[in-house]
Amino acid sequence: MNPESPEVLERIVRSLGCESIEFPEKLSCCGAGGGVWSGDEAISLGILDRKLRFVKEAGADCLLDICPFCHLQLDQGQKRLKTRYDIPVLHLNQLIGLSLGIKDKILGVHTHMVSTRDIARKAKKARRDLSAGEVE
């Protein structure tokens, strides 16, 4: 990964009126990469469980991904875990779309396994705040 990539993503998130928070192993694998998911589901879900625990402890409202494999793992994988995290997951394109006022059904966020209803409302509020000049 390009060392500047995380900073670019952080800037995009902030420009949309959202906040990116830090948590342990933020940029580490979600458990789907490198064939882990298809090779050993138990290991894959263990990695996911650890990551989601860190996210929950950090108080994140949702997870943002840029990889389709991560998206499937982070969203659908939550339903396979014993612990109920219920952390909504958005792909970067969906967050941008919500921030631009595109309806959530057009963006497909209503099809996620973990409900995105609350996060879609927050994204709409952030858009309104940006329009009103309340966010830098």
| pLDDT (tens digit per residue) in 107-117 | 999 999 999 99
What long-range pairs does 117-123 form, CB within 8 A, spacing at least 24? 118/61, 118/88, 119/61, 119/62, 119/88, 119/90, 122/61, 123/16, 123/18, 123/95, 123/98, 123/99
pLDDT for position 3: 47
Look up residue 28 and give its amino acid.
S
- Identify the H or E element spanning 91: strand 89-91
**Spatial contact of 91 and 108, defined as CB atoms under 8 Å apart:** no
pTM for the full predicted model: 0.83
pLDDT for position 79: 92
Q: For the chain, which residues make up each domain, given as ranges?
A: 30-131
